[in-house]
Amino acid sequence: MVSIIQPPVEPAVPVPLPPDNLIFDDGEPLESNRHRIAMNVLIRSAQQALSHRSDVFIGGNMFVYFSREQAMNRNVRGPDVLMVLGVPPRPRQGWVVWEEGGRYPDVIVELLSPSTAAFDRGAKKDLYEQVFRTPYYFVFDPFAPESLAGWRLNASEGYQPLVANERGWLWCDLLGLWLGVWEGVIDREGPCSWLRLYTPAGDLALLPEEAAQQRAEQEKQRAEQEKQRADRLAAKLRELGVEVED
């Protein structure tokens, strides 16, 4: 039986008094249109998969402010996707640690590109490990499906690599979900490799429009089955000499 680990509630590091003139947009676009879609797919599917919870915040391409010095130096770059459990799901321009009771993201995903891969696997990983103390960190290049990697924070040893299952998926205890690669077409981009979420049973965590399409197909199948049963019954009655109106 899968157990879900609850995130820590204490701040990872003390947070000093901040400046009050924070910025939340550096004007830099995502690396490519596929990166933009990949970010939105992961956010929206996570929102759908965790919709049974009322204490989850999921954001994307969002600055994280965690220290006075960092804020004053404008040394901010936001994770592509961040998830925090046990917090009110109110709107936020960015994640400001001192406004969140010292809470840092519980899960971070970075979408790699040739220009960012070294930084995401190096300095950013060190920051998330040593300062944020983020329990789970994942990286994925939408143009390279074999690039999926993840780490789980060990209190004494830092980030330890996650071991993939036979499908190449990585398990996240906090979310109670798998992260794995899915091949298909989304938003007319593809066929491509997308980072998706999967349930403990291995089912794809659907996007809202995918869930609606699935329901429509199921309703269509039920209607066809009902018609087939009605046609068989009518045929049987005719065999018995009973007049049946079409």
The reply to whether 14 falls in a domain is no
The reply to whether 19 falls in a domain is no
3-state SS string for 74-133: CCCCCCCEEEEECCCCCCCCCEEHHHCCCCCCCEEEEECCCCCHHHHHCHHHHHHHHHHC
Domain check: are 168 and 224 in the same one? no
Whole-angstrom Cα distance, residue 242 to residue 23? Answer: 78
The reply to whether 3 falls in a domain is no
The reply to whether 25 falls in a domain is no
Domain check: are 224 and 179 in the same one? no
Domain check: are 69 and 154 in the same one? yes
Domain check: are 137 and 197 in the same one? yes
Domain check: are 54 and 170 in the same one? yes
Q: Given a cut of 60, is residue 27 above it in pLDDT?
A: no
Domain check: are 63 and 181 in the same one? yes
The reply to whether 134 falls in a domain is yes
- The separation between the first and the last C-alpha atoms of the chain, rounded to the nearest angstrom, is 53
Q: What tokens were used for 169?
A: 């998926």
Rg (CA), the chain: 23
Domain check: are 159 and 218 in the same one? no
What pLDDT, on a 0 to 100 scale, did the predictor assign at position 146? 94
Residue 143 Cα distances to 12, 97, 193, angstroms: 34, 32, 7
| pLDDT tens for each residue of 120-163 | 999 999 999 999 999 999 999 999 999 999 999 999 999 999 99
Confidence of residue 196 (pLDDT cuts 50, 70, 90): very high
Above pLDDT 90, what percent of the chain? 56
Domain check: are 169 and 214 in the same one? no
Give the residue carrying structure tokens 């879900």: 4
The reply to whether 26 falls in a domain is no
Mean pLDDT of the chain: 84
Instruction: Specify the number of domains making up the chain.
Output: 2
Domain check: are 62 and 173 in the same one? yes
DSSP label of 10 = S
Q: In terms of residue numbers, what domain contains 215?
A: 207-246
Q: What tokens were used for 113?
A: 């590109």
Nearest to 132 by CA among 186, 95, 185, 180: 95
Domain check: are 136 and 217 in the same one? no
What does the pLDDT average to over 90-110?
A: 93
Domain check: are 56 and 92 in the same one? yes
What pLDDT, on a 0 to 100 scale, did the predictor assign at position 26? 47
Q: Given a cut of 50, is residue 213 above it in pLDDT?
A: yes
Q: Given a cut of 70, is residue 74 above it in pLDDT?
A: no
| pLDDT tens for each residue of 32-64 | 889 999 999 999 999 999 999 999 999 998 889
Domain check: are 192 and 181 in the same one? yes
Q: What tokens were used for 143?
A: 């143009």
The reply to whether 149 falls in a domain is yes
Q: Is 56 exposed, middle or buried (0-12, 13-18, 19+ CB in 10 A)?
A: buried
Q: Given a cut of 90, is residue 231 above it in pLDDT?
A: no
The CATH code of the domain that includes 76 is 3.90.1570
The reply to whether 193 falls in a domain is yes
Confidence of residue 202 (pLDDT cuts 50, 70, 90): very high
